[in-house]
Structure 1
Amino acid sequence: MIYIVCFLISCSFFWLSEKCKSKSARNSFAIIAILIPCLLAGLRADTIGTDVKVYVEPMYNAAKESHSLSSYMNQRWLVIWRYMYVKDFEIGFSLMIFLIQKLGGSFAMVLFFIQLLIVTPIYIGLRKIYKLYPVYIGLRKIRKPYPVCFSMFVFYCMFYNTSLNMMRQWIAMAILFMAFSYLIARDKKKYCILTLGACLFHTSAIMGIAILLVYIYCTKKREYIKVAIFKLNEAMAPIKIFIYGCGILLSLNIITVVLEHIGLSKYIGYIQGDNGLYLLPNQILLRLPIIILFVVRWKKILKEDKLAPFYGSMLVLDLLTSQLMSINAYAFRIGSFFSEYNILSYSALVYVGNRKFKAKRYMTLLYVITYMVYYWVFYYVIMGTHATFPYVFA
């Protein structure tokens, strides 16, 4: 139960942070809230998270045995049937481990800082997004549309355990999430710079370009004489994204050629295999409760939150990419770049249109929390995905 206890305590401090009027108190509570999940990650045994022993611990040991950066980059270790080299990994992640070890940091400190580079950008991104992108009720703006503490709870239930395994990718994804706040601020230049920075930790962060294109498509202004037509066009964005996405899934051979030409051939295995692409009903059923709630609450969300078409598009893309698991079980990593925006959309599901009707809001909140708890128990506890349960101290 240590996961649940830490999640609740951390969210409580985020809640206190939001309630404080004093800036110093607000920041102090936020720092405590961030440190809790990072300490939990840092104090874990090397058996918690599949990839810890695959590359993090060997890289730390390589840094310990090396007397220079060049010798460190050429260190290698055997994984199953092949050798892996430090230089095979992204320079940002490799340098981080090297510097922490050379500055006297323990292996627990490495795991702590990895989680710090995940939780902190997500929190900063949430704060900035909710500050810059108000929700509208009629003509009235709500400057703090959704509680940050609930959004962080979504991250903890849906993604925290995953981040204990997919560490490099989640650092990159967290940076992309923070970069998303610059898209909302209409600063595409900083978004692109942060996307490049994310690629230093995991080259798959190039997916940030796809996120940028989807965001532009979902939020571009369309001039129509009738407002009803404008709303209809906005509502159609996820449906059109679904159609385009299906077209892409049917053109995987073309994508394979593109990946080869841009130097990302190592990701071809996710979309190419002997089994071929086929329907996975279990992946649809896993997402069905949230899809149903989105359909039921779609008109309300579309009316109040201008990011609604983007939320819907991310949900659709996550659903479509989940079908790639029929080719490769690890293809869910692609969908993670879309599903991380559930951190935002689940909050919209709960709070949009329910501000004056507390009973209705609590029912929706209970529905979403029940789903997230079920997801956490089923995915991480029962299925044992990512090898994070039960928790073991180092």
Structure 2
Amino acid sequence: MLIYIITFLISLFFVYKAQLSKSIVLSLLFLLFGAAIPSFVAGVRDMSIGVDINVYAIPCYDLAMATDFSDFSTLSIRWGVVFPLMIYLGYIMGSLSWGLGFVEFFICINVLIALYIQRRKMSMAVGYFLFLFLFYNMSLNLMRQSMALSCCVLAFSLMINAKYKISLIPLYLAFLSHSSVVIFGLLLMEFYFLVINKKKKGVYKMVFYIGLPLVVILYQKIMNLAIQWGVLTDHYEAYSEGGNTFFSYTNTLSQLCFLILMLLLANKNRMFKDLKPFSLVAIYSSLVFTTLSTINVWAFRAALYIEIIYLIIFPLVIKTTSNRLLVKSFYVFVVLLWFYDSIINGVNGTYPYSSEVLPSFF
């Protein structure tokens, strides 16, 4: 556990200094350090840290060693485009550890760019704090999806600033990382109807509040129909298969807590009024998906495409709230959630951490 705490604290220090610095060069340098430190820890970890290493990373690296680049680029397409490229760069450098480090750096740098875009409206350190405690351990396991998530939060940050055309670039990279990114389309719909097009905001809120529970009830039928009609490919058949985990229940409870915290933080907060309806509907959507994960384990991954925007919306509302006790309670809740999931329950298989490079006492 100590290695994660030290990594988080040092990384947050550099991100905090990056926002304070008046020099663009120094800010960029601090941000690079903020991304490089967790990337180094991710790169030098043993191959037992993160279940998906054996599912994706090692087979992809073995393929790179056994084929030339032309054959590799063709055969590795099953793992997306961006992830195999990072692993291949690791192969060029001579080690899978380099590839794992490149994967994590891609994730961290996307998150930091997203936060940097909003630096005048919020604390970057708070956003990175949420990433480290809510998503870092997961990124050591669900590497491909974490790459897609990092692209999504970058796209969302650009959309808040009305950079809609530029946001298509990270969205495309997200699709090249993991095809499940189509689920992010739900969030884009919510953003359009509740932030961009405000003419019938009340009607749209009711549609989302009533419609999403129906998705819970009719989820499998909707997925099967979409596949039959050709809207989705056969690849998405896995998303309609049953399965459940205990973690999905605890995650549902945590999303309910996030919803309550957002309600309290945004209450009578005039500076956050434009994003308040969207933020509440988004968290409600995540709550619905995590509830659905008690029936279908893939719904948990769908919820992640909504939860990733917490890195933006919570720092924004925290910046404009005057209730400091509530803010401190929010920080404590996030840390306790990380401790319960990653340390006590061992979610994502990242604890205890082990490495041949870092000292064993970590």
**Which entry has the higher C-alpha Rg, 1 or 2?**
1
Which deviates more from structure 2 when the two are superposed, residues 47-56 or residues 239-248?
Answer: 239-248
Structure-to-structure mapping, 1:92-241, within 5 angstroms = 92-101=82-91, 103-128=92-117, 130=118, 144-222=120-198, 233=201, 240-241=207-208
The offset of 1:328, in angstroms, is 2.8
> In 1, distance between residues paired with 2:25 and 2:166?
28
2:314 to 336, 346, 367: 346
> In 1, distance between residues paired with 2:350 and 2:161?
37
The offset of 1:73, in angstroms, is 4.4
**1:379 matched to which residue of 2?**
341
**2:213 matched to which residue of 1?**
246
Which deviates more from structure 2 when the two are superposed, residues 182-191 or residues 149-158?
Answer: 182-191
Residues 327-367 of structure 1: per-residue CA shift (max 9 Å, x gap): 2334311100001111123224433231xxxxx31x12320
Which deviates more from structure 2 when the two are superposed, residues 106-115 or residues 289-298?
Answer: 289-298
Residues 245-289 of structure 1: per-residue CA shift (max 9 Å, x gap): 1122233212322145134333333334388xxxx7644423333
Structure 1, unpaired ranges of 5+: 75-85, 132-143, 224-229, 355-359
> In 2, distance between residues paired with 1:284 and 1:70?
43
- Which residue identity does 1:341 align to in structure 2? I
Residues 216-251 of structure 1: per-residue CA shift (max 9 Å, x gap): 01113445xxxxxx9xx56x8655422121122233
1:291 to 235, 259, 270: 259
The offset of 1:63, in angstroms, is 0.7
**Structure showing the higher helix proportion among its residues:** 2
Judged with a 3 Å threshold, the aligned counterparts in structure 2 of structure 1 residues 92 and 6 are, in CA distance, closer, same or farther, namely closer
Structure-to-structure mapping, 1:12-161, within 5 angstroms = 12-70=13-71, 73-74=74-75, 86-101=76-91, 103-128=92-117, 130=118, 144-161=120-137
Judged with a 3 Å threshold, the aligned counterparts in structure 2 of structure 1 residues 17 and 222 are, in CA distance, closer, same or farther, namely closer
> In 1, distance between residues paired with 2:224 and 2:309?
26
| Number of residues of Structure 1 aligned to a counterpart in Structure 2 | 350
- Which residue identity does 1:381 align to in structure 2? I
For the 8 Å contact 2:266–2:272, the answer to whether it is kept is no
> In 1, distance between residues paired with 2:318 and 2:162?
27
TM-score (norm 1): 0.82
Residues 59-103 of structure 1: per-residue CA shift (max 9 Å, x gap): 1122112234316744xxxxxxxxxxx3422133223323431x2
Judged with a 3 Å threshold, the aligned counterparts in structure 2 of structure 1 residues 19 and 58 are, in CA distance, closer, same or farther, namely same
The offset of 1:16, in angstroms, is 1.1
> In 1, distance between residues paired with 2:205 and 2:263?
11
For the 8 Å contact 2:263–2:280, the answer to whether it is kept is no
> In 1, distance between residues paired with 2:206 and 2:329?
25
- Which residue identity does 2:345 align to in structure 1? M
The offset of 1:384, in angstroms, is 0.8
- Which residue identity does 2:97 align to in structure 1? A
For the 8 Å contact 1:10–1:34, the answer to whether it is kept is yes
Residues 21-46 of structure 1: per-residue CA shift (max 9 Å, x gap): 12222222121111111111111111
For the 8 Å contact 2:56–2:79, the answer to whether it is kept is no
> In 1, distance between residues paired with 2:144 and 2:11?
23
